Amino acid sequence: MILRRFIKKYKNTINQSKDKLKIIIKEFNMILVVGGAGYIGSHLNKEISKKGYKTVVFDNLSYGHEEFVKWGTFVQGDLGNIQDIRSVFEKYPIEAVMHFAAFTYVGESVEDPQKYYLNNVKNTLNLLQVMLEKNVKQFIFSSTCATYGNPVEIPITENHPQNPINPYGRGKLMVEQFLNDYNKAYRLEYASLRYFNAAGADPDGEIGESHNPETHLIPLILDVAAGKRDDVKIFGTDYNTPDGTCIRDYIHVTDLADAHILALKYLERGGKSDFFNLGNGNGFSVKEVIETAREITCKNIKAVETERRPGDPPILVGSSLKAREVLKWKPKYDDLSKIIETAWNWHKRL
């Protein structure tokens, strides 16, 4: 009775304190950015840190760059070693996990599928296992349009059939399916973000795209512009597209980073676990990309027409209506010139 009267009298004060406590907890908690030394992870790490979140970057540096970890706390560790994962959760107050660490060379995944299934699938299960052990239940996953396989309709929506045509895409789809099961069984909440072609660089020029070996179209073109390569190969000119070359949906890496933050906020406010495409919805052919790069760099970029690259669908263009409506995502760099300009600003300094 006395307690009830006390609660009634001090209800407002208690509620205000609860809100303050929530803010304090928020400031104390950290986001684990797995693979945060890589291309997309490092851009997310910058953007989310700017928004006031505290991050712990966990990366084995097999492909990542330590010098890209300019924000938050860095822990070098390997998802293949479950103790490495446990110790990061034991040391830091992790409230949510963003998982970027994966091998991403489609061709290599065909030649060496085990490498891809062990890292992209088994190691992700290790991460999820520790999350469940430590009762961390918010997960943002880097998925891919490669889970769709050859498109049967364009633009590709989230309801498009998923029939991946290579082990890279199959591994990502497997994890998506695990997430669905884990959500039902363990209430793990997730947002799985299916990227189209990530491109561009941090507009401030602090970080950018750097792969070894480089296989992506835009950095290869810019290597030619910078005089580091003689020419860029055009893989196939006989596709059923207006100029015969493949069409892709290029999305700026900072826009991808923003989508991750919005997805996290969506889960924080109790949004339902779901899958979201992230693309601009505009397709550009290989020849158009080369032409735009010539305009931006004012260099005569030599292009050589060659055979098709196995496993390349002619057109991949996504509809991101769902991310725009549900997450309130609005890409800022929705123009190919802007994307290439940021990439060139970074690239020409290398």
Active site residue 39: no
Identify any residues that bridge with 262 across adjacent strands, giving them in sequence order. Answer: none
Size, binding site for ligand UDP by CB under 6 A: 15
Cis before 213 (ω within 30): yes
Least separation, in Å, of the C-beta of 23 and ligand UDP?
Answer: 41
Structure letter (DSSP) for residue 208: -
User: For ligand UDP, which residue of 235, 243, 335, 338 counts as binding (CB under 6 A)?
Assistant: 235
User: For ligand UDP, which residue of 136, 179, 191, 232 counts as binding (CB under 6 A)?
Assistant: 232
Alpha-carbon distance 18 to 14, whole Å? 6
Give whichever of 57 and 106 is closer to ligand UDP, judged by the CB atom: 106
143 makes contact with ligand UDP (CB under 6 A): no
Placement of tokens 């407002």 in the chain: 12
Alpha-carbon distance 254 to 256, whole Å? 5
117 makes contact with ligand UDP (CB under 6 A): no
Burial of 254 (0-12, 13-18, 19+ CB in 10 A): buried
Cis before 155 (ω within 30): yes
234 makes contact with ligand UDP (CB under 6 A): yes
229 makes contact with ligand UDP (CB under 6 A): no
Q: Which residues contact 164 (CB under 8 A, 6 or more apart)?
A: 146, 147, 148, 149, 170, 172, 173
Identify any residues that bridge with 140 across adjacent strands, giving them in sequence order. Answer: 98, 191
215 makes contact with ligand UDP (CB under 6 A): yes
309 makes contact with ligand UDP (CB under 6 A): yes
31 makes contact with ligand UDP (CB under 6 A): no
Q: Report how many helices (DSSP H) and strands (DSSP E) the chain contains, helices first.
A: 13, 14
Task: Return phi, psi of residue 42, to 5°.
Answer: -70, -35
197 makes contact with ligand UDP (CB under 6 A): yes
Burial of 338 (0-12, 13-18, 19+ CB in 10 A): middle
CB 125 within 8 A of CB 177: no
Give whichever of 40 and 286 is closer to ligand UDP, judged by the CB atom: 286
127 makes contact with ligand UDP (CB under 6 A): no
Helix, coil or strand: residue 343: helix
Least separation, in Å, of the C-beta of 289 and ligand UDP?
Answer: 7
Give whichever of 312 and 334 is closer to ligand UDP, judged by the CB atom: 312
Helix, coil or strand: residue 146: helix
- The per-residue DSSP string of 271-285 comes to PPPEEEEE--S--EE
220 makes contact with ligand UDP (CB under 6 A): yes
User: For ligand UDP, which residue of 233, 294, 299, 322 counts as binding (CB under 6 A)?
Assistant: 233
Give whichever of 136 and 225 is closer to ligand UDP, judged by the CB atom: 225
Residues 237-276 that bind ligand UDP (CB under 6 A): 246, 248
Give whichever of 97 and 247 is closer to ligand UDP, judged by the CB atom: 247
Give whichever of 84 and 231 is closer to ligand UDP, judged by the CB atom: 231
44 makes contact with ligand UDP (CB under 6 A): no
Structure letter (DSSP) for residue 228: S
Selected range binding ligand UDP among 50-58, 118-126, 212-220, 292-300, rule: CB under 6 A: 212-220
339 makes contact with ligand UDP (CB under 6 A): no
Alpha-carbon distance 233 to 286, whole Å? 10
121 makes contact with ligand UDP (CB under 6 A): no
Catalytic hit among 63, 92, 116, 168: 168
Alpha-carbon distance 346 to 207, whole Å? 7
User: For ligand UDP, which residue of 94, 101, 286, 315 counts as binding (CB under 6 A)?
Assistant: 286
Please report, as ranges, the residues that interact with ligand UDP according to CB under 6 A.
Answer: 106, 197, 215-217, 220, 232-235, 246, 248, 286, 309, 312
> Which amino acids are annotated catalytic?
168
